[in-house]
Amino acid sequence: MSTEAQPRDFIRNIIAEDLATNKHDGRLATRFPPEPNGYLHIGHAKSICLNFGVAEEMGGQCHLRFDDTNPIKEETEFIDAIKEDVKWLGFDWGEHEYYASNYFEQLYAWAVQLIKAGKAYVDDLSGEQMRELRGTLTEPGQNSPHRDRSVEENLDLFERMRNGEFKDGEKVLRAKIDMAAPNMNLRDPAMYRILKAHHHRTGDAWCIYPMYDFAHGQSDSIEQITHSICTLEFADHRPLYDWFIEQLGIFAPRQYEFARLNLGYTVMSKRKLQQLVAEKHVSGWDDPRMPTLVGMRRRGFPAKAIRTFCERIGVGKSDSWIDMSVLEDCVREELNEEAPRAMCVLDPLKVVITDYPEGQEEIFSAPIHPQKPEMGQRQIPFSREVYIERDDFMEEPPKKFFRLGPGREVRLRYGYVIKCEEVIYNDAGEVVELRCSHDPATLGAAPEGRKVKGIIHWVSADRALPVEVRQYDRLFNVESPGANKDVDFREEINPESMKVVTRCFGEPGLALASAGEAYQFERLGYFCTDSRDSRPDALVFNRTVTLRDSWAKAK
RNA sequence: UGGGGUGUCGCCAAGCGGUAAGGCAACGGACUCUGACUCCGUCAUGCGUAGGUUCGAAUCCUACCACCCCAGCCA
């Protein structure tokens, strides 16, 4: 066996090869280039883990660069949120925080250089006229009537564009490439447009802004990025970036494209996410049902789980749909390891232990984590009246059900084995209370002469801590929302994606739960206090993910 | 019918001419004071299809088929 780390995907293979052949003097630089016009989602996490991960593993550096070339859509709020999310994921860009807007002056100079070389021209066509002359996928386009303006005129016009002499949309700077190119991106693409808008960083210094296509490749070049990693849809743009770089005679990064992440039963498009927020289908970008990193964080997904997920799904070029179960497994794996255990009854059913003295209380000691004794013990009070989960009792239990039923025995976790002696009904015939006996010899010991397989969670009635629990489920009812062209994706929202349960009872120790802290509610799932709405005197827990439940499957 | 890209188990994904890794899911079983965790099994004579080259092909060649992306003064 080789002791070398094995590359895990085609991009790492390429980089390892480049490093081995000393391609850039052994230098490696990547970058994560978000546009600050929204919050980061799990799809971005894939890119972040790739770019930062590769740099970390292979001795390179990774830049955080904001591609802020469109002042109309971008805001400082998003910049701060993006930085926080990247940090939360566990990555550090160090000194390498950049903005495409920092390069505006250089980009302008390069545009002038291209004009002087006869490779760019100012066009007067409207957007609509440009579209008409662009041709179609199968027919070539036609040259703009302004394509052959003199260098002097173009220089003059472009300067006047910068000086604000024209209105928005009146003129545009275009690259002079080939209107008949089979690649649409090469049909004289726009380089600069007039936008009399306030930019979040450059203020009102500019009224012309470079297009992404004229800024992105050169920004990578300026930063000496060796490997420009982006998603598949930009493969068609690569020839354009290469063209600019070649005309300009500047450092040439190599671009590699990978398939973006698709996750089942959610949406990843920024437009759709924005819509969900704007139309209040969710409570905000950080709604725990959102696939945003802020949402997942609030939901209780550990950053480590998201990184594991990104590793597990791999990096390839084929369009892929990842099953939510992969993410959930990563979350469970991490939380199982870290989360302290506690008992909490979501749908309480009162149980009276008739042969246990009134007013008496015992304190049971239970491990905080059964597999990790070093995490210590917790104290759980027990008394004559307890609450159990309504689901853990059945009047007519099937054979395979080994919880409570009339005349049946079950163990109260970390407590006694109890036996259901009597069922109390209300006038409507609903079960409202159970009368049970207990076996005093079963505390920490197996019952004699019989087996009790069922173990249920419970909470002592007079010490029960009332809490609110929010049970989250998938946001959409269909695996690929919006895929059906005849149905608006908003109609595919799962109306039961959030169930709020207000009268749950937790064990008393839960009162100490701090903001965002994760617990395993035994037999139920992983929960964490809601970072927005939970207060020490009114705890609110979000269900992060349920435990696996083979009983539910068996039913 | 232009250009770019992709097709290996239900979902991802290794593989780079020497006889199909791994994960998730699923299904059995063991263990268990969480029907959890853990553990142990099972799960592609087959790699989009059809030909060809070769002692040997998922890997090379040819043709075909399917799906995704591109006609913003968005990124």
Active-site entry in A270, A474, A490, A532: A270
Q: Residue A356 CA to B10 C1' — how many Å?
A: 53
Provide residues 220-239 of A with CB closer than 7 Å to any strand B atom: 232-237
Q: How confident is the model at residue A1 (pLDDT cuts 50, 70, 90)?
A: very low
Residue A483: pLDDT over 90: no
When the pLDDT of each residue in chain A is averaged and rounded to a whole number, the result is 96
**Res A263: pLDDT:** 97
CA distance A210 to A187: 17
Cβ atoms within 10 Å, residue A270: 16
Q: Residue A235 CA to B66 C1' — how many Å?
A: 21
Q: Is A134 a catalytic residue?
A: no
Q: Could you tell me whether strands A341-342 and A518-521 are parallel, antiparallel, or unpaired per DSSP bridges?
A: parallel
Q: Is A271 a catalytic residue?
A: no
Provide residues 422-481 of A with CB closer than 7 Å to any strand B atom: 442-445, 454-455
**Res A2: pLDDT:** 31
CA atoms within 13 A on the CB side of A148: 3
Q: How confident is the model at residue A339 (pLDDT cuts 50, 70, 90)?
A: very high
Q: Residue A450 CA to B33 C1' — how many Å?
A: 15
- Longest CA–CA span in chain A (Å) reads 102
Q: Is A260 a catalytic residue?
A: yes
Mean pLDDT of A472-495: 92
Q: Which long-range contacts (CB under 8 A, 24 or more apart) does A365-372 make?
A: A365/A414, A366/A341, A366/A413, A366/A414, A367/A341, A368/A340, A368/A341, A369/A339, A369/A340, A369/A341, A370/A341
**Res A440: pLDDT:** 97
ipTM over 0.90: yes
Residue A4: pLDDT over 50: no
Q: Which nucleotide minimizes the distance between its C1' and the CA of A216?
A: B75
Provide residues 395-414 of A with CB closer than 7 Å to any strand B atom: 400-403, 411, 413-414
**Res A6: pLDDT:** 59
Q: What is the pLDDT of residues A381-427, one digit of tens each?
A: 999 999 999 999 999 999 899 999 999 999 999 999 999 999 999 99
Q: Residue A532 CA to B35 C1' — how many Å?
A: 34
Residue A7: pLDDT over 90: no
Q: How confident is the model at residue A5 (pLDDT cuts 50, 70, 90)?
A: very low
Name the 3-class secondary structure at A478. Answer: coil
Helices (H), A223-364: 238-248, 270-278, 293-299, 303-313, 324-338
Q: Over pLDDT 90: what percentage of chain A?
A: 95
Side chain identity, residue A471 = Q
Mean pLDDT of A101-109: 98
